[in-house]
Structure 1
Amino acid sequence: MTMTNPLDTCDALATRTDLLAHHRAALRTTVELVAGVRAADLRLPTPCADWTLHGLLTHSIAQHLGFAAAVRGDADPAVWKVRPLGGDPAGEYAAAAEAVLAAFAEPGVLARRVPLVEFGGEFSGAQALCFHFVDYVVHAWDLARTLGLPVRFDAPVVAAAHEVAAVVPGGAARTAPGSPFGPEVEWSGTDQLDRVVALLGRDPEWRR
């Protein structure tokens, strides 16, 4: 059986769809979900087994700032460092999300070479966008389940995320320390977003 290269899928997706618009939709949805977070919420468990909501937010902020720097050619690993939240978690999260959106909005970004030090190499801008996009479709779902809120995306956004999720390598890589996604969860439901998160190791039945 021929295996599809996820990098090829990302490049093709950026050519065939408005991946920048899909990415904006995913990020803005996470900002809306985080907007009402209170200090007491930061202790809540999330579908990411190793993280409370505080951990998910600090991880996400570091990733947003790391991708934003990398898109502009910065390969300094320190940019990706996770730092504790301050007194305004929602504001910090929104600022980091806007930073990465601004970086990806720059002219010619899809054709750039992007040094993603946490991913072990250099990728095209389209591939970097694709990685960040699918991650934040899934993290939008994580946030919504953690906070007991609904999350919905337009069908083209979920279809694009599903196309990427379907080619993310499985096997031992999914159980390695630091893997962004766990082993696929068997799922027979009809909701397409639930299918995406199941492919990437989340249990669609998860409730706080």
Structure 2
Amino acid sequence: MDYVIGQIDRALDVNSAVVAALDSGNLDAPTPRQDWDVRTELNHTIGTMHIFAAVLSGTYSGAERESDWLGGDPRGAYAAAAEIDRAAWHRPDVLDSVIRHPAGTLPAPRAALLHWAELTTHGVDIAIAIGRPDLADNALCAELLDTLQAEGGIDEFRGSGLFGAEVPAVPSDPGHRRLLAYVGRALLSSTT
């Protein structure tokens, strides 16, 4: 499962490039995540990173993912959260524990896979929303999709607000489109 920790690192790096491409004019853009704009989805992503880090370090106090994590500096907020998140997942023996997370109690390897899925999906959502699907890492998305399917899927998280029902995708679609379809995102157009 060290592979998954490496993929979390990779997703954090990919999302850093997506966040760097943001400007104040596209924070209100709608995302493939129904009813969310870029600001809401980025705030949720940063909150998820902080909450996972707190859970992993045993300092979780019940903070909500939807609290205001962005403040006035989305790029700075993301960079700080990424540093904290990365450090938490690189703690010795982190994968030997059971994680008590707001999404439920999970073995740490399953929680790591869920985190990789959330980071990657939200990053793709934001990249598409700002008109930069080229920033999506199609190989990372395809690897995540293959791993999720090999590890039993995400059915336990569908309908809980984390992921929706799978929507149709074309097998020849790029990795990011196939991943979004798998996690229940409506595909916006053929250019995404």
For the aligned pair, the TM-score class normalised by the smaller chain equals 0.7 to 0.9
**Alignment-derived partner of residue 114 in structure 2:** 131
User: Residues 103 and 136 (structure 1 numbering): CA distance in 2 closer, same or farther, change over 3 Å?
Assistant: same
Residue 205 to residue 52, structure 1, CA distance change in 2 (3 Å): closer
Q: Give the corresponding residue for 1:113.
A: 98
RMSD over aligned CA atoms reads: 2.4
The structure number with the bigger radius of gyration is 1
CA distance in 1 between counterparts of 2:9 and 2:52 reads 14
Say if 1:73 and 1:115, in contact at 8 Å, map to a contact too: no
Deviations 1:57-82 (A, max 9, x none): 11111111000000112342126452
Between stretches 29-38 and 62-71, larger displacement belongs to 29-38
Q: State the SS of the aligned residue for 1:48.
A: coil
**What does residue 70 of structure 1 align with?**
55
Structure 1 residue 157: Cα displacement = 6.0
Structure 2 gaps of 5+ residues are none
* TM-score (structure 2 length as normaliser): 0.86
1:36 to 16, 21, 32: 21
Q: Which residue of 1 aligns with 2:186?
A: 203
Match status 1:163 vs 2:173 = no
**Superposed, which structure 2 residues align to 1:93-112 within 5 Å?**
93-112=78-97
Unpaired segments of 5 or more residues in structure 1?
Answer: 1-13
Against the structure 1 CA distance between its residues 53 and 155, is the aligned structure 2 distance closer, same or farther, given a 3 Å change threshold? closer
Shift of 1:96: 0.8
Please give the secondary structure, in 2, of the residue aligned with 1:78: coil
Identity among equivalent positions (%) equals 28
Aligned counterpart, 1:147: 130
1:181 lines up with 2:192 in the alignment: no
8 Å CA contact 1:61–1:93 kept in 2: the answer is yes
Contact 2:138 2:175 in 1 (8 A): no
Q: How far, CA to CA, are the matches of 1:161 and 1:102 in structure 2?
A: 25
Q: Which residue of 2 aligns with 1:19?
A: 4
Q: Is the 8 A contact 2:141 2:176 kept in 1?
A: no
CA contact (8 A) 1:137 1:161 kept: no
SS in 1 for 2:135: coil
1:184 touches 1:198 (CA, 8 Å); kept in 2?
A: yes
Tell me which moved more, 127-136 or 195-204: 195-204
Task: Tell me if the contact between 1:72 and 1:114 (Cα under 8 Å) persists in the aligned partners.
Answer: no
Of residues 160-169 and 66-75 in structure 1, the stretch that sits farther from structure 2 once superposed is 160-169
